[in-house]
Homo-oligomer: A and B are copies of this chain.
Amino acid sequence: MIIAVIGNSSCSPEEAKLAESVGELLAQRGATVICGGLGGVMEAACRGAKSQGGLTVGILPGQDSSAANPWVDIPVVTGIGEARNIAVVKSARAVIAVGGSYGTLSEIAYALKGNIPVIGLNTWSLSRDGQDDDSIIKAGSAEDAVDKAVSLAKRHRSHEIASLRSQ
């Protein structure tokens, strides 16, 4: 089960701590962590996952694997810049957003468009034409976020299998 962790390449110490906990807990639950491969939230999540023996994948925007943070096991060098954001979320069964700016928002948008569940920790809230959009599922802690992500990732998978069977 692959779960994405998304957020800024530079982040506050509190966000780094949250992201590291998320990475640790995902690894403990047997999930592979996928992210954008760079610093900040991405690095913290990878560091957390590696501390628990997890596997980490970094989908890099640039031309060179040397841009990957040191905790990325599998650096995927795309060369397609920020368009790589779509690959980060589409590869995952669920997405956990920790803080984040506009790059993270683009990833949230692509995930929601693809019916991939998004769990948010201190991240964006959306409303459209005056009405709240509650698609981003709020979590109160790293534990809560990982619980929700893992549970939704499993359901997401079952749903897919069910829909395949009914074809």
Contacts and interface: CB of A to CB of B under 8 A. Distances in A.
Interface residues of A, number: 47
| Interface SS of chain A | mixed
A101 B86 CA distance: 16
A11 to B, nearest CB: 12
For this chain, the copies found in one complex come to 4
Contact of A109 (B80, B81, B99, B103): B103
A56 to B, nearest CB: 10
A104 to B, nearest CB: 8
A105 interface: yes
B74 A78 contact: no
Given A76-B91, A78-B87, A81-B63, A106 B101 contact: no
Interface of A: 2, 32, 34, 55, 57, 59, 63, 65-66, 74-83, 86-87, 90-91, 99-103, 105-106, 108-110, 112-114, 122-130, 160, 164
20 contacts: A55-B74, A57-B74, A63-B90, A76-B87, A79-B81, A79-B90, A80-B80, A81-B81, A81-B86, A82-B86, A99-B129, A101-B113, A102-B110, A102-B112, A103-B109, A106-B110, A124-B126, A124-B128, A125-B126, A125-B128
Given A2-B74, A102-B112, 7 more contacts: A55-B74, A78-B78, A83-B86, A100-B128, A101-B113, A124-B127, A124-B128
